[in-house]
Amino acid sequence: MTQAAIYPEVSHRAEIPILSIRNLSISYQAKRGWVQAVRNVNLDVRMGEALALIGESGSGKTTLGLEIVRLLPSNARVPQGEILYQKIKKNSGGLGPTVDVMNLGTQALRQFRWKECAMVFQAALNAFNPVLRVSDQFADTARAHGYKQGRELEERAKELFHLVRLEPERVWKAYPHELSGGMRQRVLIALGLLLEPQLLILDEPTTALDILTQRNIMDVLKDLRTQLNFSMIFISHDLSLAAELADRVATMYAGRVVEVSDVYTTFKHPHHPYTIGLIKAVPTLTTHKDNISSIPGSPPDLINMPAGCKFHPRCPLADDRCRHEEPNLEPTTNPDHLVACWKWKTARLDMTA
């Protein structure tokens, strides 16, 4: 069955979270101390939506994605949090049980990865074994998860190649080095979708690709979403790509989610000075160079963070309260627009004045 048929019994599915991250914190042990990569994150991914995670390098986006599929390196520690995943019955489309991904044992985790949730990383060449043909890589993944083999597998893979705009016959028999970077990235996206996951996490899927190839991948992703109807977490520091693909956007800064809203609000009416700064830093074909401004300073040292709001040393609106008390993520006048800033009511006005 294709994913277009998933969830038929669930009405208002757009409002049901498929993934609820609660109070999640993650640190890495480093020589100098503990790097607080993710701090007390609360975030939902709703059924069928594309959620973009944006923020500068080092803000914790990849770490969050890795923990969702429980692939953190061994020096990581997760002192607190829950990742609640809503299962959907693939045959009926009805709601199944909710599981905490953090409590899954080895066997259940193996079922969860790929079948429920798959992650596609950047640097597609490293993801392949150079001596295996694409067909063998698909067979390995299928075998490891008890998925169909032989002719059936080949048919499913070729169907996916067609969807990601690859020539099925050529790619099925190819070695990774015979494919361009953009083709390899599309093969990985197809592989990610092989076991019909409900949630696909894409970590900077177009980084390191030229602009035309990037365009191509974005078009493929948009097509796939309309055809297969899975949920997506799209990790990117490229705001224009996030704007194009996402239904909702979460801005991360120093390990925390500092703003979440629908994509229109994020780009037209952002309330966090950091989100505003990110947006003002994006050049467009029509912006005059005098209107582009970068955010002064750099992100904090995650081993030794400042007190209060972690953005305060770079924030033009910071006052004494910001320097001492860290704000929580709270609803604005729109309950779907959450911001962690003491100044959110005036931020937009002050920043654009």
Ligand X SMILES: Nc1ncnc2c1ncn2[C@@H]1O[C@H](COP(=O)(O)OP(=O)(O)OP(=O)(O)O)[C@@H](O)[C@H]1O
> Which residues contact ligand X by CB under 6 A?
28, 30, 35, 37, 55, 57-63, 73, 75, 237, 302
Longest dimension (CA), the chain: 67
Least spacing, CB of residue 11 vs ligand X, in Å: 36
Report residue 227 as tokens: 């055809």
Cα(199)–Cα(195) distance, rounded to whole angstroms?
11
Least spacing, CB of residue 301 vs ligand X, in Å: 9
Nearer to ligand X, 16 or 76 (CB): 76
Nearer to ligand X, 38 or 309 (CB): 38
Least spacing, CB of residue 237 vs ligand X, in Å: 5
Nearer to ligand X, 57 or 286 (CB): 57
What stretch of H or E contains 151? helix 150-163
Nearer to ligand X, 31 or 289 (CB): 31
Contacts for 71 with CB less than 8 Å, ≥ 6 apart: 119
Least spacing, CB of residue 275 vs ligand X, in Å: 15
Which 3 state secondary structure label does DSSP give 317? coil
Nearer to ligand X, 305 or 318 (CB): 305
Cα(56)–Cα(254) distance, rounded to whole angstroms?
9
Nearest to 246 by CA among 40, 42, 45: 45
Start-to-end C-alpha separation, the chain? 54
Least spacing, CB of residue 102 vs ligand X, in Å: 17
